[in-house]
Structure 1
């Protein structure tokens, strides 16, 4: 990306809820899972190219078009914040969100190039400029939980960047929020104050003091790469992964196993006496589909569990089918553990403590993964079509993988972050390159 390309924020304002939050909803309780969640913001970008035909593109006033679309986004965001009222509040201590209607920060930026320049040859450094800077999250009453940046390209395309607090929001909650927002843009009348939090099922602790740093992930010198797995390649991987133990491997299992296998090989190639002898793949799971209680299916907030798959670093080739089998075994054990009635706060607390303990084992190299596949981000239509999606990895956390569907729902785009020396080997792995494209154009 050439140096002359610039993203210039020219306006920022605070969008407040269109209806004041009722007094009885002013204090929103944080769940035990929210309390364990890290105090970080995670980013998402939705790219909306200008879909008008060539004649319209050449004759349309792009500036007027963008102004009208931005007005619609802000007006509908105000209405949506009334339904998701904690998003407009501030976290207060370890147990509450103060729903004080302070609002969400909304920034407008101009990009002095066409969107194709960002999509055809994506540069992660440039893409990060399309995200709202967290310096705008600071305020007298605390941090903003939601920041939005509407980036207007020369061609009339818009990229909407988000920074979202992970403290009370997971990917399921975000996708629900975005689709409610887009429905409001289409004029659908939805009732206010819809937010029902996870704390209604798993209340938080009034004096929460975690004994372990649950997300103790190193921020060493790291590099992030975007991998694209086309549907035909995924089908080939599923055939390769099938075994007596797992006859019907999933898309996420086979893509994750290949990334894990190649990352382990890179780590082993760079190994020294300080490298751990075992490796773990820690997969984050949306617990709404596992918990026995139907009442949890639509709860907003963090409702995430995990399962570990363990591999011993021994001489010789790592067995791909064995890695898939280890992942399936971990997932089935998680379903047995939590797929029964009577699961309570103590069970969840012990589960999250186990996660922290694994991360802190000196003899275990951990790879953390989260899958957003099958979440309807690509359905977020504000009125000018469905988006092409980019999801930067979270602040380049070492050994983190994020999976998302491609826009057609059949392929998978992965963001993989590794140490520099590991990535140099990983991204040139012949087995990986047989199934994935590295840093391809988004289109």
Structure 2
């Protein structure tokens, strides 16, 4: 998971060495998060384990011969300077036997800097990573220990002694024909970011929601909208099954499980809503919303146990990629608020999705200071142009063109 956090020059911290302070803070934080200093090994049935050998994480310091402000909006996903700001040190890429975290601090001529993190997702989810960053921030600013002590206890979400699949897990289903079609286009994907502020959200509600539907959150509304119009842009055969895999955090909400406060491992499920492409594209947006709600509501303790059993029985199966859209709301984490002493970053989040079929939601303040959501989408060139056209028509309130374009 490549994560970049950009910080402006802060005159109150003039003369302070960004890299040294962060490096010292990391060394102290890793005392508490000691598994991150180890290496992953693979056991029988592809079971992953951590060898706590204290080999350490990787740390890089660099200088950029440019002012931060010169980069403009290029700091947003997909940042064209990712390879410079998060160097792929030989031996740092992979899962087995590689460093579990790489950190790079890059200084700009203006006194600003960027902290880049490359995190092994098998060790922690976004919630766990934010917990780690909070601990790092607290220790850098003088705390002797994190306010929330990390908890390992991975056995809490392990498979049962007699694994038994009791629920449907559509996120792993994949048809051979669909897989072949996806693979043929996967290396042709490009990524582009889209901004959704109050104006865009209002346009979606006003034009695409049926009157009297009721209240709906911004995230659920955007997820349904993106799923439908991404499918339209891809021009998928109406009889093909398409999926929306929705990341559900099992630490909170109705699906909450009894996990310790400091648990920083992966604690989420990705239930998938399924529809024929033709039905998704021709029906009102509320059709997609209801499918997503049904998928989300099936997540309970039994579903999580069944998921753990499914993964063990099928030896760590991958998510289906073909006509699947994996989406997660990481805007609520507040990576744009992590303060190491220099104030809040002007942007903090995943630079680009490591999964070609996935998108992440991140918070960003636009030029008017309005808190917006930025989303990076992966599509082939022609589909991307069509998707951009759909977005433009929607935000320009050209309803007739949207309705005509959305027919399959």
Q: Same fold (TM over 0.5)?
A: yes
Of 301, 325, 332, which residue of structure 1 is paired with 2:297?
332
Q: Does 1:429 align with 2:384?
A: no
1:430 to partner: Cα distance? 4.2
Deviation digits for residues 23-66 of structure 1, max 9, x if unmatched?
Answer: xxxxxxxxxxxxxxxxxxx11100101144xxx9xxx97xx54x
For 2:251 and 2:27, how far apart are their aligned partners in 1?
28
The number of residue pairs the alignment matches comes to 368
Question: Aligned-pair distance for 1:294?
Answer: 3.0
CA offsets 1:148-178 (integer angstroms, 9 cap, x no match): 0111111111111111001111101111101
RMSD: 3.7
Tell me, in whole angstroms, the C-alpha distance in 2 between the residues paired with 1:101 and 1:77: 14
Out of 352, 370, 382, which is 1:393 matched to? Answer: 352
**Contact 2:269/2:304 (8 A) holds in 1:** no
The SS at the match of 2:326 is: strand
Residues 370-381 of structure 1 aligned to structure 2 (within 5 Å): 370-381=328-339
- Work out whether 1:264 is the aligned partner of 2:199: no
The 3-state SS of whatever aligns with 2:85 is: coil
Q: 1:102 aligns with which of 43, 51, 55?
A: 55
Between stretches 187-196 and 143-152, larger displacement belongs to 187-196
How big is each residue's C-alpha offset from its partner over 1:336-395, in whole Å with a ceiling of 9 and x where there is no partner? xx1x5x6774453338989969727xxx72111122121121221000000122422234
In the alignment, does 2:372 pair up with 1:411?
yes
Give runs of aligned pairs for residues 41-440 of structure 1, distance below 5 A.
42-52=1-11, 64-65=15-16, 68-93=17-42, 94-122=47-75, 124-137=79-92, 142-190=97-145, 194-197=149-152, 199-203=154-158, 218=183, 219-238=186-205, 247-268=214-235, 271=236, 277-289=240-252, 290-314=254-278, 317-334=282-299, 338=300, 340=301, 345-350=305-310, 359=320, 365-387=323-345, 388-395=347-354, 397-406=355-364, 410-430=371-391, 434=395
Consecutive unaligned residues in structure 1, runs of 5 or more? 1-41, 437-443
**1:56-101 deviation line (CA, Å, top 9, x unaligned):** 9xxx97xx54xx2211111111110111111111112234211122
Work out the CA distance in 2 between the residues paired with 1:137 and 1:369.
26
Displacement over 6 Å in runs of 4+: 351-355
d(CA) in 2 for partners of 1:228 and 1:414? 7
Q: Supply the distance in 2 between the matched residues of 1:422 and 1:96 (Cα, whole angstroms).
A: 41
User: SS of the residue aligned with 2:137?
Assistant: helix
Looking at structure 1, the residues matched to 116 and 135 of structure 2 have their Cα atoms a distance apart, in angstroms, of 17
Q: Which residue of 2 aligns with 1:6?
A: none
Alignment of 1:15-30 (within 5 A): none
TM-score normalised to the size of structure 1? 0.72
For the 8 Å contact 2:135–2:147, the answer to whether it is kept is: no
2:406 aligned residue: none
Using the size of structure 2 for normalisation, the TM-score is 0.78
CA gap 1:409/1:177 in 2 versus in 1, 3 angstroms: farther
The answer to whether the 8 A contact 1:288-1:298 is kept is no
**2:50 partner SS:** strand
Q: Secondary structure at the match of 1:183?
A: helix
Does the CA contact (< 8 Å) of 2:159 and 2:309 recur in 1? Answer: no
The separation in 1 between residues aligned to 2:84 and 2:344, in whole angstroms, is 22
Larger displacement relative to structure 2 (99-108 or 114-123): 114-123
**Correspondence for 2:400:** none
Deviations 1:126-154 (A, max 9, x none): 23431231525279x92000000111111
CA contact (8 A) 2:171 2:271 kept: no
Secondary structure at the aligned position of 2:251 is classed as helix
Q: Where in structure 2 are there 5+ consecutive unaligned residues?
A: 164-169, 174-178, 398-408
Structure 1 stretch 295-304 or stretch 236-245: which is displaced more? Answer: 236-245
